[in-house]
A and B are shown apart, each in its own frame.
Chain A
Amino acid sequence: GQQVMQIPQYQHVQEGEDFTTYCNSSTTLSNIQWYKQRPGGHPVFLIQLVKSGEVKKQKRLTFQFGEAKKNSSLHITATQTTDVGTYFCAGTGSNDYKLSFGAGTTVTVRA
């Protein structure tokens, strides 16, 4: 199956600054999803991208799916303390329903 890699592993951000986390797959993905896990919590679904080159926004979060459907990014603007947590990307292959999760990017925010 596909392997999904995610960088950076850790992101320390000053409150108010922007940051981006990146996700890359070894194979073409059918779709990619993003999840957020707060400390001590469980993963919560954020969004799904399906189309090549797709861009979706949720308030201060912008999600992109690459043209080749092998990479994705999550960009957060004006980081707030509520953004603390681990962000996982997860993808499914062309003939697969199973999610392969990236290693996650753990975000801490300096007030």
Chain B
Amino acid sequence: SAVISQKPSRDICQRGTSLTIQCQVDSQVTMMFWYRQQPGQSLTLIATANQGSEATYESGFVIDKFPISRPNLTFSTLTVSNMSPEDSSIYLCSVEESGSIYEQYFGPGTRLTVT
């Protein structure tokens, strides 16, 4: 399966600032996703990162708050903008490998704390 890395692994940020999270995959993949997981909770899909076009956002998530880039088939970024303490969470990228059917592989996650 694909090897996925995320940077940073964790960060503590002040409210009102922005943080960009990077997701790097060791092979080309068609589908990349960004999830949020609050402590002790399940995973919530933020958006699907589309290569060469705008991301597809889920209900409750907007581009101004969570801008996403996907410049190629191995890399994506998620920015958490104008942060508030409610944004404290683990942010995970995942990929669906080319040739697989829907099974996803997750990166190690970025633990964000907003103070």
Contact = CB atoms under 8 A, between A and B. Distances in A.
A31 B101 contact: yes
A102 interface: yes
A65 interface: no
Interface residues of B, number: 21
Interface string A62-104: 0000000000000000000000000010101000011101111
- Interface size class, chain A: 20 to 34
A101 B103 contact: no
A88 B102 contact: no
Secondary structure type dominating chain A contacts: loop
B73 interface: no
Q: Which 5 A-B pairs have the closest CB atoms?
A: A42-B106, A101-B43, A101-B42, A103-B42, A43-B106
Interface of B: 1, 31, 33, 41-45, 48, 58, 92, 96, 101-109
23 contacts: A31-B101, A31-B102, A33-B102, A33-B103, A42-B107, A42-B108, A42-B109, A43-B43, A48-B101, A48-B102, A48-B103, A88-B43, A92-B102, A97-B31, A97-B96, A98-B33, A98-B45, A98-B48, A98-B58, A99-B45, A101-B42, A101-B43, A101-B44
